[in-house]
Each structure stands twice: as structure tokens, then as C-alpha cells.
Amino acid sequence: MGNKSLQDTLAELHVRQEKAFIPYIMAGDGGLDKLKEDLLRLQNAGATAVELGVPFSDPVADGPTIQLAGKRALAEGVTLKKIISKLIEIKDEVDIPIIFMAYLNSLLAYGIGNFSNDCVKAGVSGCIVPDLPIEEEEILAQDLKNANISLIRLVALTSSQERIEKIVENAEGFIYAVTVTGITGVRESFEEEVGLYLNRIREASSIPVLAGFGISTPEHVERASLYCDGVIVGSKIIQSLQSENYREIDELILASKKVIY
């Protein structure tokens, strides 16, 4: 069947008045042979799409859980080329959109043109590059656009209104609203000010706004989803997959289904 595009999937959700839930996993954590199993598990649990991390030796935005997952993947010999080859192999079995989360050096080493072309073959629908500011997007923006791959921009909690407006202008796919200052990880509370911040981005943006970083409980998912179009959950998903506590994942996804527009 092959992957649906990110834009189509998000548009369908909006029509159904449902919120998005995008789990993050590290490609090759536990070996690349496990990737198909993990993607199908998340797809069957009701995930909107999957954000697929590319292991990197110096992951500046990642908290301890994701860093360790990256180290485990690197120890398995996982590379971007091997990840793409595996995705091409399983493409017809995975229906939901795949979004790469990769640092710029990995893409430059691969070659931007080659990366874009191979992503099309692998059914990849979006790309997040956390260390690429919009001022430097021309390095890869056109190649990705030609391949119909959304380059997803991040907004920081510290961003000014002027900066938010600059980021949302001509943005693609969805806006990734970072809900903490600092690195990813599991956190206990969801700050009240985050709701105001998400509202500000949503008012400025013509495309969906998803909240990520530090969202780790069903309560976080419900509260964040009240203020935006869905959530991204990483560290908690990785922990749950590692401990084989799949019920935790089901509960997180279920929480996103409780909130309607």
C-alpha cells in the first residue's frame, strides 16, 4: 500500500476533528530488524505518523533517553543509508507517514540530492533538522521541496512574536512547537505558560501546530492537545518500547483521541 503523505494525513485528521499523535523512535535501537515491528506496532495503535530519529554522535537537542537510544543504534552499526534501505524494504507494509529527525551533518555526508531522492523511494514524507535555522534552510530546502518532502520547522519557547511569524511564514507540514527550554526528556508537569505560547503560534500559523519535548503522560497529552493540533512524544515511547510496556503507548495515544476541536 505504501505511506500516505503527511499533508493528506493531517488534512484528514482536521476534517474528522481529531488531534495528531506522533511518536518518536530511534531508528535501529535494538537493531534495524526491529524497525518494522516497532513501526507496525505504532501504526496499529493509532499513531498519526512516526518521527524516526537518525542516530548521531553529537545530538545537541536530545535528552538522556534519546541519547542512549542513539548510542545503542550506533553500536549496532546503524547508518542513514541502512535506515533508508530498510524503509524501502518495508515501504509497502507501513501506511502512516514517516518523518526523519536528523542532524544536518548526517544529511550533508549523505549528499542532499541523494538523500531527497532516496527518501522518495523510502516513502519518507517529512524531515526535521533541529540544528538548521531558517536562515540557512537553502542548503536543503529546494531539494526537499522538489521531492515533495516537508521541511518541518521548530519554534522555541523563547521565540519572540516576530520570530514566530517569520518561522510560520511559508512553513510546511506542521510547526513543531518545543514546549520546554533545553533538551528532550520526561517531565512531571506541563506549565501553564506553555498553553499561552501554543495559542500564540496557532493564531499565527496556517498549518497544524504540534507540541513536543517533555510530554510524557496521558495528562500531558490531553492538556497540550487542548491548545494545539496534536503532540509528539519521544522519550516515554522509547522507554515503553524498551521495557515492552505497550499498554503505556496505547494509553498515550488514547489520551490524544479524547480531545476534539
Q: What is the pLDDT of residues 131-149, one digit of tens each?
A: 999 999 999 999 999 999 9
CB atoms within 10 A of CB 145: 13
Q: Which residue has the higher pLDDT, 194 or 172?
A: 172
In the predicted model, what is the mean pLDDT of the chain?
Answer: 93
CB atoms within 10 A of CB 158: 9
Q: What is the largest CA-CA distance in the chain?
A: 45
For β-strands 20-26 and 50-53, DSSP reports them as parallel
Sequence letter at residue 69: A
* Strands of 98-101's sheet in order across: 150-152, 124-128, 98-101, 50-53, 20-26, 230-233, 209-212, 175-178, 154-155
- Residue 42 and residue 50 in contact, taking contact as beta carbons nearer than 8 Å: yes
Q: Which three cell numbers, joined as nine digits, stand for 16?
A: 474528522
What is the 3-state composition of the chain as percent helix, strand, coil, each rounded to the nearest 5?
50, 15, 35
Does the pLDDT of residue 182 top 70, yes or no?
Answer: no
Contacts of 126 by beta carbon, 8 Å cutoff, 6+ apart? 6, 49, 97, 98, 99, 100, 149, 150, 151, 152, 172, 173
The Cα–Cα gap between 102 and 109 comes to 12
- pLDDT, residue 61, reads 67
Q: Half-sphere exposure of residue 172, counting CA atoms within 13 Å on the CB side?
A: 18
- pLDDT, residue 188, reads 58
**101-131 pLDDT, tens digit each:** 999 999 999 999 999 999 999 999 999 999 9
- pLDDT, residue 132, reads 95
Mean pLDDT value of segment 216-242: 95
- pLDDT, residue 3, reads 74
pLDDT band (50, 70, 90) for residue 1: very low
Contacts of 256 by beta carbon, 8 Å cutoff, 6+ apart? 19, 20, 21, 221, 222, 225, 230, 231
Does the pLDDT of residue 45 top 70, yes or no?
Answer: yes
Mean pLDDT value of segment 2-21: 91
Let me know the angle formed at the C-alpha of 52 by 151 and 28, rounded to the nearest 5 degrees.
145
Mean pLDDT value of segment 83-99: 97
The Cα–Cα gap between 52 and 43 comes to 13
Which of 94, 122, 76 has its CA nearest to residue 37? 94
Phi then psi for residue 5, to 5 deg, are: -75, 155
Q: Which residue has the higher pLDDT, 188 or 89?
A: 89
Mean pLDDT value of segment 68-83: 96
- pLDDT, residue 127, reads 98
- pLDDT, residue 58, reads 81
- pLDDT, residue 4, reads 80
So which residues are the catalytic ones? Answer: 51, 62
- pLDDT, residue 183, reads 64
CB atoms within 10 A of CB 241: 23
Q: Where would I find the H helices in 186-245?
A: 192-204, 218-227, 235-242
pLDDT band (50, 70, 90) for residue 259: confident
Mean pLDDT value of segment 159-184: 92
Domain boundaries, the chain: 6-257
- pLDDT, residue 154, reads 97
6-257 to CATH, choices 1.20.1250.20, 3.40.109.10, 3.20.20.70, 3.30.390.50: 3.20.20.70
Which of 201, 251, 181 has its CA nearest to residue 222? 251
